[in-house]
Structure 1
Amino acid sequence: MTAPDGTVPSATTDGEGARPRRRRLRGLVVAAVAVALAVGTGITAGSTVALWRDRETFSVRMPAGVVAFGARTVTAPATATDWATGTGDPVEAVFGPGQAATLYDTGSAAVLFQVDSLAQGHRGLRYTVTPTVSGGVFGAATLRLFTVTSPALCVPGATGTPATASTPWQPGYSTATALRAEYWCLVATFDKVRGAYANTASVVGDVQTSTGTVTDAVRAQASWAAQVLKAINPATEPAHRLTFRYETFRGPTP
């Protein structure tokens, strides 16, 4: 329809033409809220991201989807800081003070870490793991970091292929809503003996008899040994950490 001045009314003004625009805006708002809930409020292991698309209120397609990434030391309580707020945001899993005594006393310890992630749409997700260990019993230990398929496999003496990165989500299109868990195992071995010392002392004496002098008739001998231990107090173990950083990458679009 043409107005008297010759112009054509815009489809974004009040009236029936405004409905498509308002519908799109409302869909984007709901989508943004869902993403914020997924990556900003701390999704716990086993949770689902069910709010990313509300089919009853809008039908706008959301090609980006939800991305969530979190990591923690399994023995530590879960907190909101276990979750990244965006790509490249580091997540730190702390360990050391709780395991130092076991490592010092037994010579071996294993620390289990869990990584939870979700990537929807046409995005893959990959991440790196960077250990930061300095001082204390762990700083003097030999460390090995690798993935395990089950938490039960992360035990002292366990072995695996050393790794520092993983790609849990490939970039093919995904509408998954369940978090995917991966497990990392840090195995430490420690020898608290710095060195060993051993010595033997002997005393030789001569005895006078009626027939003369008997040489080496009296001999005293003593031996002793000791181990020198490394001067490390497990009670003062500093906090160490694994730093996890993720990024998403694009795949083909339909």
Structure 2
Amino acid sequence: MILPRLLRALVAVLAVGVIAAAVGRRARAGAVTAPRAEAVAADDEPAPGRARRVRGPHVLVAAVLAVAVVLGVGAGGTFALWRDAVTGTVRMPVGVTIFGAGTVGSPTYATTNAVLDANRNRGSVTYSFGPAQATALYNSNSSAGGSVAIPMQVTSLQQGHRGLAYTVAPSISGGVFGSSTVTLYKVTSAAACTTSTTSTAASSSTPWSSAYTASTTPSTEYWCLVAKYVPTKWSHTDTASVTATGPGTSGSLSASSTWTATSAITFDPALEPTHTVTFTFTTFRPGTTP
């Protein structure tokens, strides 16, 4: 199909060339016989004794139409001899980064990123606790002690070819929590956050690898801060003795007294300071470590 069309195109071009040459010769002949010939409108008849000057654009239009007819343009024809189609897959080079942490069901989301270097970004979210849980943890300073479990949620999304990892770091100073044993656990759900959890203690997670993803479904992970308070108490015994010598020959007299006391360090839960857990996330490129 292509070869016949090319041949017809060549024939048309040659034909147009011949026509153009003939028209040109005729125009020149007219110019000689009528040197004062004037241009007239295409719709007007020339005045007697005047020759019509042929305009170049008419030749060009005729040539284009001739080629179009030969090649089949018009009446459903096409001038193109081939069509090229290019297909591909749209990929997000970086994509969206979402990171929220804190209260289960309503985490706080990071609003700013601090650029570390050309390959990674970092941001953080801080969760506060302490005063609301201090009374249960203190347990009236009972010898049995007290314990609390605080569930936390992390929601994240990383699109494109970057991964996302984060660390969890508690900051505790003073009060009942400051005198307790505090451990962080990564648990399977908020309901799994109990003071008797058997999960493994942890302090970091990598919910998104650097493998390319266009997912729009965030990842949700749960953490559990368990604090166990054992009151500090101690007992001590004191004995007082006295010896005296009486007048005359009655000899000496002695006496003693013993008593036992119990002491304890006490706290006022109403004065518990605020403590924090900081969730710091980092995005990383393929080939780098978080």
- Do both share a fold (TM > 0.5)? yes
Higher helix share: 2
Aligned with 1:147: secondary structure?
Answer: strand
Structure 1 residue aligned with 2:92: 62
With over 3 angstroms needed to count, the CA separation of the structure-2 counterparts of 1:66 and 1:103, relative to structure 1, is same
Aligned with 2:196: secondary structure?
Answer: coil
**Residue in structure 2 matching 1:236, options 271, 277, 281:** 271
RMSD (Å) for aligned C-alpha atoms: 2.8
Paired residues of 1:82 and 1:92 also in contact (CA < 8 A): no
Structure 2 residue aligned with 1:90: 124
With over 3 angstroms needed to count, the CA separation of the structure-2 counterparts of 1:224 and 1:155, relative to structure 1, is farther
Q: Give the alignment's TM-score, normalised by structure 2.
A: 0.53
Deviations along 1:188-246, one digit per CA (max 9) or x if unpaired, are 11112422346899xxxxxxxxxxxxxxxxxxxx9986542322111111110111111
Structure 2 residue aligned with 1:125: 164
1:101-250 equivalence runs, <5 A = 101-105=135-139, 107-197=146-236, 227-250=262-285
Shift of 1:154: 0.7
Deviations along 1:58-79, one digit per CA (max 9) or x if unpaired, are x9753211111111133xx847
Structure 2 spans left out of the alignment, 5+ residues: 1-88, 114-120, 140-144, 241-256
Higher strand share: 1
* Distance in 1 between residues matched to 2:263 and 2:198, nearest whole Å: 29
With over 3 angstroms needed to count, the CA separation of the structure-2 counterparts of 1:244 and 1:225, relative to structure 1, is same
Paired residues of 1:193 and 1:227 also in contact (CA < 8 A): no
2:279 maps to amino acid: F
Shift of 1:82: 3.6
Aligned with 2:132: secondary structure?
Answer: coil
Paired residues of 1:68 and 1:84 also in contact (CA < 8 A): no
Between structure 1 and structure 2, the one with the greater Rg is 2
- Size of the aligned set, in residue pairs, is 173
* Distance in 2 between residues matched to 1:145 and 1:66, nearest whole Å: 29
Higher relative contact order (CA 8 A, sep 6+): 1
2:110 maps to amino acid: W
1:102 maps to amino acid: A
2:270 maps to amino acid: A
With over 3 angstroms needed to count, the CA separation of the structure-2 counterparts of 1:200 and 1:108, relative to structure 1, is farther
* Distance in 1 between residues matched to 2:272 and 2:153, nearest whole Å: 23
Shift of 1:123: 1.1
Q: % of aligned pairs identical?
A: 47
Paired residues of 1:70 and 1:84 also in contact (CA < 8 A): no
